C-alpha cells in the first residue's frame, strides 16, 4: 500500500512538470513565460525568461534633453517610470536676456524678480526693522539693500552743509551720498526693475532718476479714450489722445466781413459745396461752420451759425442767383 502511494506521488510530480513545461519555460509570480519572453511586472522593472530562470532588472532611463530655456522641465508620469519633458511654459525676456520659466534672481540688491510663463514679476526686498544700540546708527552701505547698525562717527561737511554720520542725501537726481565717520561717499542710484502692465508704457522724467509707468489712455468728461483716438468735443473743438495727454484744437472761423461775392466765385472747386437756404421774405441765408454764400439782393445774415459771429454782412454784388455755395476746408490752430 505504501509503495502504491509513493508511486502515485511520483506520477503527480511528473505530470506537474509536464504541465508546467507546456504552460511555459519560466515561472515568475505565479505566471509562466516561454523562453526569451520579455515582460514588465511593473513600470520600472523588465524581465526576461532564460529557461528555466527569470532574469529581472531595473528599467534604464534615457536623458530626454529638455529645452529648459523654453520652460520645459522633467516630470515622471503617474503610471510611468522614466522622466519626460513636459510643459511649454514661456521664458521671460529681461534686459535683453532670456530667463527660463520659474527662475528667481536679484537684479539689484533691493529687488527680487521671478519669471513665470513669460511674465516678470519684481518686488522690493523687505528689510527687517532695525533697532540699533546707543552709539550706533542704521546705515545702508553701497551695494547692500538692508541697513546695518554701524558705530556712529564724526559728521561730514559738504559744500558748506553739515551732515550727521549715517545721513544720506541726493545732490543729483541719480546720485546718492552717505556720510560715514566724517567722509562722504557718493554712488549712482540703482533703479528697481520696472515692468509696466498692459495699457501703460515706461516713461523717464527729467526731475526723477528712475522711470515710472504712465497710462497711454486719456480721460475727458468721464470718458476713456485710447492712444491716438480722436473725438469731437463740441461743434468747433476736436481732441486727440496722445500718450495720455488730451490735445484739443479749435476750428479757425472766417470773419464774415472779409467775404464777398467775388471771393466766393474765385474759391477753388475742391473746397466742397453746401446747400443754400434762402428766405424770400428776409433774404436770409443759413450758414453753418465756414460756409459762405450769396443772395439775390439785400444783406447776408447768418442763421444757426456756429463759427461766424457777425450779425450782418453787406453784399457787394447784388442780384446774383446761385443754388449752391462753396465751403472752405477746416483750419486748425
Instruction: State the Cα–Cα distance between residues 143 and 292, nearest whole angstrom.
Output: 72
Does a cis peptide bond (omega within 30 degrees of 0) precede residue 52? yes
C-alpha cell at 316: 457787394
Q: What is the pLDDT of residue 265?
A: 43
Residue 53's DSSP bridge partners are 50
Q: What is the pLDDT of residue 289?
A: 38
pTM over 0.75: no
Q: What is the pLDDT of residue 5?
A: 58
pLDDT tens, residue order, the chain (333 aa): 556 556 566 556 555 555 555 446 788 888 888 888 888 888 888 899 988 888 999 888 888 888 776 667 788 887 788 888 877 677 888 888 888 877 888 888 888 899 888 889 888 888 888 788 877 778 777 777 888 887 777 888 888 888 888 788 888 888 888 888 888 888 888 787 777 777 777 888 777 788 888 777 888 887 888 888 888 888 888 899 887 888 888 877 665 555 544 444 444 444 433 333 333 333 334 444 344 433 334 444 444 333 443 344 444 434 333 333 444 444 333
- What CA–CA distances, in Å, run from 90 to 99, 113, 333? 9, 16, 49
Q: What is the pLDDT of residue 294?
A: 39
Q: Across 88-182, where does the E strand assignment appear?
A: 92-94, 97-99, 103-108, 111-116, 119-124, 136-139, 148-151, 156-158, 161-163, 168-172, 175-180
Amino acid at each position: 500500500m505504501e509503495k502504491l502511494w509513493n508511486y502515485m506521488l511520483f506520477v503527480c510530480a511528473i505530470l506537474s512538470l509536464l504541465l508546467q513545461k507546456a504552460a511555459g519555460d519560466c515561472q515568475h509570480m505565479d505566471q509562466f513565460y516561454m523562453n526569451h519572453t520579455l515582460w514588465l511586472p511593473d513600470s520600472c522593472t523588465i524581465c526576461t525568461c532564460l529557461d528555466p530562470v527569470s532574469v529581472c532588472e531595473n528599467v534604464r532611463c534615457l536623458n530626454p534633453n529638455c529645452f529648459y530655456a523654453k520652460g520645459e522641465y522633467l516630470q515622471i508620469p503617474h503610471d510611468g517610470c522614466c522622466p519626460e519633458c513636459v510643459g511649454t511654459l514661456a521664458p521671460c525676456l529681461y534686459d535683453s536676456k532670456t530667463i527660463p520659466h520659474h527662475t528667481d534672481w536679484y537684479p539689484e540688491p533691493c529687488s527680487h524678480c521671478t519669471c513665470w510663463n513669460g511674465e516678470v514679476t519684481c518686488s522690493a526686498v523687505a528689510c527687517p526693522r532695525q533697532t540699533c544700540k546707543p552709539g550706533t546708527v542704521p546705515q545702508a552701505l553701497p551695494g547692500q539693500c538692508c541697513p546695518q547698525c554701524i558705530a556712529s562717527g564724526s559728521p561730514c561737511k559738504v559744500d558748506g552743509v553739515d551732515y550727521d554720520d549715517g545721513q544720506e542725501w541726493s545732490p543729483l537726481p541719480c546720485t546718492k551720498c552717505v556720510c560715514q565717520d566724517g567722509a562722504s561717499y557718493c554712488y549712482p542710484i540703482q533703479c528697481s526693475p520696472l515692468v509696466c502692465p498692459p495699457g501703460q508704457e515706461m516713461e523717464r522724467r527729467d526731475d526723477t532718476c528712475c522711470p515710472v509707468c504712465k497710462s497711454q489712455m486719456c480721460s475727458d468728461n468721464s470718458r476713456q479714450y485710447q492712444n491716438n483716438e480722436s473725438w469731437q468735443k463740441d461743434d468747433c473743438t476736436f481732441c486727440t489722445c496722445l500718450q495720455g495727454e488730451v490735445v484739443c484744437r479749435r476750428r479757425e472761423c472766417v470773419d464774415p466781413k472779409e467775404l464777398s461775392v467775388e471771393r466766393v466765385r474765385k474759391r477753388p472747386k475742391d473746397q466742397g459745396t453746401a446747400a443754400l437756404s434762402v428766405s424770400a421774405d428776409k433774404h436770409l441765408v443759413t450758414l453753418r461752420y465756414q460756409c459762405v454764400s450769396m443772395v439775390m439782393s439785400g444783406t447776408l445774415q447768418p442763421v444757426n451759425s456756429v463759427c461766424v459771429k457777425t450779425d450782418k454782412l453787406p453784399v457787394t454784388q447784388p442780384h446774383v442767383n446761385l443754388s449752391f455755395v462753396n465751403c472752405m476746408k477746416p483750419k486748425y490752430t
